[in-house]
Amino acid sequence: MEAQERGIRLEEQIEQWRSYVRRRQAIQTVDVEELEDHLREQVSSLLRANLTEDEAFLIAVKRLGDLDSLSREFAREHSDRLWKQLVVSRDESDETRSSATREGVVAFGLAVLAAIAIKLPELFGLTLDGDEGFYARNVSLFVFPLLAGFFVWKRRAGSATQRWLAAGFVAGAVFANIYPFEPAGSTEILTAMHLPIALWLVVGVAYAGGRWGDPEVRMDFVRFSGELFIYYVLIALGGGVFSGLMALLFQAIGIDVEPFFQRWMIPCCALGAVVIASWLVEAKQSVIENMAPVLTKLFTPLFTILLIAYLATMTFTGRMIEFNRELLIAFDLLLAVVLGLLLYSISARDPRAPKNVFDVLSVVLVISALLVDALALWTIASRISEMGFTPNRVAALGENIVLLVNLAWSAVLYVRFLRGQTPFTSLERWQTNYLPVYGIWAAIVVTAFPPLFGYT
């Protein structure tokens, strides 16, 4: 009965908006039906993010105001009343508060389990003697299954999805530990770097709750990943301040707490914070504008200038790239950041919005990154032809090819969009459909590289 009443109230609010727009239609020529369809799409998307009907309507109208001046006027004139309704609705919704409390308790419990899990191998002597890379290879396995469990519980994922998730994590655990790695060898380092990428896609399946095939859900997971990174960094900065103050306090009484930090506090809190940050993103998503797209608008121009300046410097000085392992990692990280900027600019952009200067800037960034990636590939291929295959060179070659394909087709689709030859949704679909490729390549590095290169 309560759900039916909320649905009726939502329809009443939409009717108020529709009546307002139709009354003012003489001022501006608008397609009310098309706008209403867009409004309902926004509301449905926000409801799937666990917002209430009142919250979803308020935010959807404000978003619609970016496209339609009449909706912007409606939002401005009715915002005070809508917020009052929202507050009353939230005060009356004991069920909503209870659900939020349960989620917080579950998230905190899983964070504690993650903190405990990272210490269990050491406490019970389960790590192999001399196996210094054990934690590096397995760190994601101590927290990602718990995070996936949180989403399985929250989304009420079916048994088939749960079986696939369990199989993915079991496979990751097997391939992280079955091979006789040479300590600190290249294949062990590559496994430690690529296993979290592969398992993060497994977490994505849990996040989707059985709807991974839906491109919109995959884009939601992209947004979630960016927000999680930002929240995690903020928690880490706060933890750094806390640790510094704690060290000063105990130092004043002659106690060195650094061993406690290194052995217990840092590893336990680092893993627990992943779950807590994820819960915070889930709890706050869509209530305020996401931070990742906002930061994208700030850093896209900066990275565009950086890449253009770098290419220009190479052209005028004639100096070519001379790679070592550290520079390879830095280059791949740079290209990954550029791809992240592209992803979050796409996720924040309304497909129906007209073309603007930021779109042109995004195309310049992608083309610049494409040229840098091509130069990197040429250099890596030259080193392989001169000095032979090594795990690092082959991994770098494959990763840059994966990025090259994505950037190249993204540039084609973006240029076509600017020329009016294809809708913006084509670029969105390309990015979401390409996500599994990263997981597949990471899985290949984890499973095939150690035996191929003799575990060195």
| Pair (85, 102) in one structural domain | no
| Pair (115, 258) in one structural domain | yes
Instruction: To the nearest 10°, report the CA torsion of 368, 300, 223, 218.
Output: -20
Residue 46 identity: L
* Residue listed under structure tokens 């947004």: 223
Name the token pair of 205.
């399946």
pLDDT at 29 (0 to 100): 47
Nearest to 17 by CA among 51, 45, 40: 40
Cα-to-chain-centroid distance, residue 185: 30
| Pair (301, 407) in one structural domain | yes
pLDDT at 88 (0 to 100): 44
| Pair (269, 334) in one structural domain | no
Last residue of a domain, one of 57, 77, 92: 92
| Pair (104, 210) in one structural domain | yes
Any domain includes 439: no
Any domain includes 29: yes
The distance in angstroms from the start CA to the end CA of the chain is 64
| Pair (115, 229) in one structural domain | yes
| Pair (103, 249) in one structural domain | yes
3-class DSSP state of 347: helix
pLDDT at 164 (0 to 100): 94
Distances (CA, A) of 353 to 258, 312, 360: 53, 33, 14
Q: How far apart are CA 360 and CA 226, in angstroms?
A: 23
Last residue of a domain, one of 76, 92, 108: 92
Q: What are phi and psi of 220, to 5 degrees?
A: -60, -40
pLDDT at 7 (0 to 100): 62
pLDDT at 89 (0 to 100): 46
CB distance 173 to 138 below 8 Å: yes
| Pair (101, 71) in one structural domain | no
3-class DSSP state of 256: coil
| Pair (119, 250) in one structural domain | yes
Q: How far apart are CA 13 and CA 86, in angstroms?
A: 12
pLDDT at 187 (0 to 100): 93
CB distance 394 to 380 below 8 Å: no
Last residue of a domain, one of 72, 92, 112: 92
Any domain includes 258: yes
Any domain includes 221: yes
Query: What is the CA angle 168-340-295, rounded to 5?
Result: 130
| Pair (318, 355) in one structural domain | yes
Cα-to-chain-centroid distance, residue 193: 17
Distances (CA, A) of 415 to 112, 359, 366, 405, 425: 48, 9, 11, 16, 13
Any domain includes 43: yes
CB distance 430 to 409 below 8 Å: yes
> Counting Cβ atoms within 10 Å, is residue 308 exposed (0-12), middle (13-18) or buried (19+)?
middle
Any domain includes 151: yes
pLDDT of the chain, 456 residues: tens digit per residue: 555 555 666 777 777 777 776 665 544 445 667 777 777 878 887 777 677 777 777 777 777 665 555 555 565 555 545 544 544 444 444 555 566 778 889 999 999 999 999 988 887 776 655 567 889 999 999 999 999 999 999 988 889 999 999 999 999 999 999 998 888 889 999 999 999 999 999 999 999 988 898 888 898 898 899 889 988 998 998 888 888 878 877 787 778 888 888 888 899 999 999 999 999 888 776 444 556 666 777 788 888 898 888 888 878 877 666 666 666 777 778 888 888 888 888 877 777 778 888 899 999 999 999 998 888 888 888 888 888 888 988 998 999 999 999 999 999 999 999 998 988 889 989 999 999 999 999 999 999 999 998 888
| Pair (143, 227) in one structural domain | yes
Q: How far apart are CA 59 and CA 441, in angstroms?
A: 39
Cβ atoms within 10 Å of 438's Cβ, excluding its own = 20
Provide the 8-state DSSP code for 261.
I
Any domain includes 186: no
pLDDT at 367 (0 to 100): 93
Number of structural domains found in the chain: 3
Residue 354 identity: P
Distances (CA, A) of 42 to 38, 47, 64, 207, 298: 6, 9, 8, 20, 26
| Pair (10, 24) in one structural domain | yes
Nearest to 74 by CA among 4, 27, 7: 27
pLDDT at 26 (0 to 100): 45
pLDDT at 191 (0 to 100): 95
Name the token pair of 228.
């999680």
CA atoms within 13 A on the CB side of 137: 30
Estimate the share of the chain in helix, then strand, then coil, as percent rounded to the nearest 5: 80, 0, 20
Q: What are phi and psi of 24, to 5 degrees?
A: -100, 10
CB distance 56 to 46 below 8 Å: yes
Any domain includes 224: yes
Nearest to 121 by CA among 232, 239, 271: 271
Q: Which domain holds residue 53?
A: 2-92
Query: What is the CA angle 43-45-48, rounded to 5?
Result: 110
